[in-house]
């Protein structure tokens, strides 16, 4: 029997990679997408098949994690073997501006899914994966961070995700649901949202190289992250739900780099050597060849409370799941810059032919 999966957040970075991964494994894949005034399915358009065709294994349903009745109806209808809860207001800085909404989606949304499983009577059938995060470690109490490292959230996002983490553990213990947390460290790709720092940098490096943009404004260059590749990480999500017993796992590369290092490598991949001059708010990233100031600091991007250093210890995932990160930091950055150069070349072509291109930078 082919398995049925339901993915919340299917239109996001991870949703897109996971949907493709599960379809390749022969799953029927159902996804929940939000109503939007414009198409919001860019990342999964290549998976779309018209519902009038035969042998369709990919289905989308309108829904929202803030709407219990909608979730109950979809789960009742789909009867999933596995649910992957990837939907979230996932931007840490935005969570300081929309804390209540972030809690509603990221914390209570998870509860709504777990309750739906219980209400419909699927506690012994449906396995559920919760997208937990290294942001739970926040102000780190131990380095590297592993499953037993104490949590110390530093944002409304992390505080909401900590509720989701524990309610997942609680429903596992209270009702015997096969419910697991993947505590994933940052993972990126060419389809990463443009306002996360990695994609903001690779997009800028490409656009600056091609003359579509002049400057890149960033916040804290000293923050360090354990950055992996989303394509590797969705495999771990699936593996977590295939074990005999439900459990929680750290998924990470075991390597950490600063935002400053990411900038240097990304621009080098685009053919620009950056040298750093000055300090504090006056620090600049300068094009070594032309002397042009390219990278500037803008305090607008500083967070009220920052997470300074994340470095994961993926030993448990390696030993119990047999999972490990397969894409090096250098390969990841190269992959992202290469894709963004293609995007920038397309924009340039459009611009030269009189078509409007988006100059949006956040
Ligand atoms: P994205 O921001 O790319 O995708 C988030 C998805 O959630 C989108 O499909 C979005 O829909 C959807 N969504 C947002 N709000 C709602 C809502 N109210 N109801 C239903 N759907 C909603 O995130 P990623 O793919 O990067 O991350 C996936 C999950 O993993 C998230 O929960 C994130 O917090 C978590 N995570 C991510 C990490 C990373 O480094 N990427 C690391 C650790 C955890 P739309 O497209 O319409 O906006
Ligand atoms: P993060 O990712 O907060 O780790 O959350 P993000 O890329 O937003 O920030 C990483 C670090 O870079 C610093 N930074 C900037 N960040 C952004 N977005 N824009 C800037 O201009 C900028 N300048 C410096 C930040 O201060 C931070 O220290 C991501 C999300 O995917 C979460 O959903 C997920 O849970 C965690 O990763 C693990």
Candidates 135, 171, 253, 327; catalytic one: 135
* Ligand 1 center–CA 292 separation, angstroms: 36
Of 101, 99, 100, 110, which is closest to residue 133 (Cα–Cα)?
110
Quickly list DSSP for 150-199.
Answer: PP---SHHHHHHHHHHHHHHHHHHHH--EEEEEEEPPEE-TTS-TTSHHH
Q: How many CB atoms lie within 10 A of CB 288?
A: 12
Give the distance from CA 70 to its chain's centroid. Answer: 24
Following DSSP, what letter does each residue of 245-262 receive, concatenated? S---EEE--S--EEHHHH
Query: What pLDDT shows up at residue 1?
Result: 82
Confirm if 194 and 204 have CB atoms less than 8 A apart.
no
Nearest ligand, measured from the Cα of 233: 1
Q: Kindly write down the DSSP assignment for every residue of 1-65, as one continuous string.
A: ---EEEEETTTSHHHHHHHHHHHHTT-EEEEEE---SS---GGGGGG---TTSSS--EEEEE--T
Residue with tokens 């131990």: 142
Residue from 8, 10, 14, 37 to probe ligand 1 pocket by mutation (most atoms less than 8 Å from CB): 14
Q: What is the pLDDT of residues 174-220, one digit of tens each?
A: 999 999 999 999 999 999 999 999 999 999 999 999 999 999 999 99
Q: Give the separation between CA 198 and CA 217, rounded to whole angstroms.
A: 13
148: annotated active-site residue: no
Cβ–ligand 1 contact at 199 (below 6 Å)? no
Q: Is 164 in the pocket of ligand 2 (CB under 6 A)?
A: no
Name the residue with the closest Cα to ligand 1, atom 46.
Answer: 11
325: Cβ below 6 Å to ligand 1?
A: no
DSSP state of 107: I
Q: Give me ligand 1 centre to Cα 112, in Å.
A: 16
**Predicted local confidence at residue 53, as pLDDT:** 87
Residue 41 appears among annotated catalytic residues? no
Q: Which helix (H) or strand (E) holds 316?
A: helix 315-316
Confirm if 220 and 302 have CB atoms less than 8 A apart: yes
Secondary structure class of 201 (helix, strand, coil): helix
Q: Name every residue whose Cβ is closer than 8 Å to that of residue 136 and which is 6 or more positions away in sequence.
A: 151, 153, 158, 161, 162, 165, 183
**pLDDT at position 207, please?**
98
Domains of the chain, first to last: 4-184 (3.40.50.720), 197-224+257-308+328-352 (3.90.25.10)
User: Which three-class secondary structure state does DSSP give residue 286?
Assistant: strand
Known catalytic residue: 345? no
Q: From the CB of residue 119, how many other CB atoms can be counted at a distance below 10 Å?
A: 14
Task: Provide CB contacts within 8 A for 148, sequence distance 6+.
Answer: none
Q: Please identify, by atom number, the ligand 1 atom nearest to the C-alpha of residue 43.
A: 46
pLDDT, one tens digit per residue, over 154-164 is: 999 999 999 99
Three-state SS for 215? coil
pLDDT of residue 329: 98
Q: From first to last of the 362 residues of the chain, give the pLDDT tens digit.
A: 899 999 999 999 999 999 999 999 999 999 999 999 999 999 999 998 887 888 899 999 999 999 999 999 999 999 999 999 999 999 999 999 999 999 999 999 999 999 999 999 999 999 999 999 999 999 999 999 999 999 999 999 999 999 999 999 999 999 999 999 999 999 999 999 999 999 999 999 999 999 999 999 999 999 999 999 999 999 999 999 999 999 999 999 999 999 999 999 999 999 999 999 999 999 999 999 999 999 999 999 999 999 999 999 999 999 999 999 999 999 999 999 999 999 999 999 999 999 998 888 88
Answer left, alpha or beta for residue 172, where phi above 0 means left and psi between -120 and 50 means alpha: alpha
Query: Are the beta carbons of 263 and 333 closer than 8 angstroms?
Result: no
Predicted confidence at residue 339, as pLDDT, reads 98
User: Is residue 292 a contact partner of residue 208, using CB atoms and an 8 Å limit?
Assistant: no
Residues 6 or more apart from 32 whose CB is under 8 A from it? 6, 7, 8, 9, 10, 60, 61, 62, 63, 64, 71, 74, 87
Most informative mutation of 45, 88, 310 for ligand 1 (most atoms within 8 A of CB): 88
Q: Interface pTM (ipTM) of the complex?
A: 0.99
β pairing state of 178-184 and 249-251:
parallel
Q: Is the CB of 163 under 6 A from ligand 2?
A: no
State the pLDDT at residue 52: 86
Confidence (pTM) = 0.98
pLDDT of 362: 84
């Amino acid at each position: 029997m082919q398995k049925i999966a339901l993915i919340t957040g299917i239109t996001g970075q991870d949703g897109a990679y996971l949907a493709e991964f599960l379809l390749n494994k022969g799953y029927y894949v159902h996804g929940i997408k939000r109503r939007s005034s414009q198409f919001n399915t860019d990342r999964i358009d290549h998976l779309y098949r018209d519902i009038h065709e035969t042998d369709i294994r990919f289905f989308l349903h309108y829904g929202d994690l803030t709407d219990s009745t909608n979730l109950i109806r979809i789960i009742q209808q789909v009867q999933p073997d596995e649910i992957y809860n990837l939907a979230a207001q996932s931007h840490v800085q935005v969570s300081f501006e929309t804390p209540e909404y972030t809690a509603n989606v990221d914390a209570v949304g998870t509860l709504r899914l777990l309750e739906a499983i219980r209400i419909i009577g699927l506690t012994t059938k449906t396995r559920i994966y919760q997208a937990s995060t290294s942001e739970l470690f926040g102000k780190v109490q131990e380095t590297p961070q592993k499953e037993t490292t104490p949590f110390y959230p530093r944002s409304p996002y992390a505080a909401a995700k900590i509720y989701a983490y524990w309610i997942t553990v609680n429903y596992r213990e209270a009702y015997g649901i096969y419910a697991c947390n993947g505590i994933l460290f940052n993972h990126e790709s060419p389809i990463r949202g443009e306002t996360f720092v990695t994609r903001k940098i690779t997009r800028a490096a490409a656009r600056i190289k091609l003359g579509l943009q002049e400057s890149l404004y960033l916040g804290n260059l000293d923050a360090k992250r354990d950055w992996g590749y989303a394509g590797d990480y969705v495999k771990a999500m699936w593996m977590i739900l295939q074990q005999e017993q439900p459990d929680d796992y750290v998924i990470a590369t075991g390597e950490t780099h600063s935002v400053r290092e990411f900038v240097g490598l990304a621009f080098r991949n685009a053919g620009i050597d950056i040298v750093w001059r000055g300090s504090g708010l006056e620090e600049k990233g300068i094009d070594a060849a032309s002397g042009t100031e390219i990278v500037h600091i803008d305090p607008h991007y500083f967070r009220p409370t920052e997470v300074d250093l994340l470095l994961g210890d993926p030993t448990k995932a390696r030993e119990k799941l047999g999972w490990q990160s397969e894409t090096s930091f250098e390969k990841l950055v190269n992959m992202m810059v290469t894709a963004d150069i293609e995007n920038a070349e397309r924009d340039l072509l459009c611009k030269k032919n009189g078509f409007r291109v988006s100059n949006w930078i956040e």
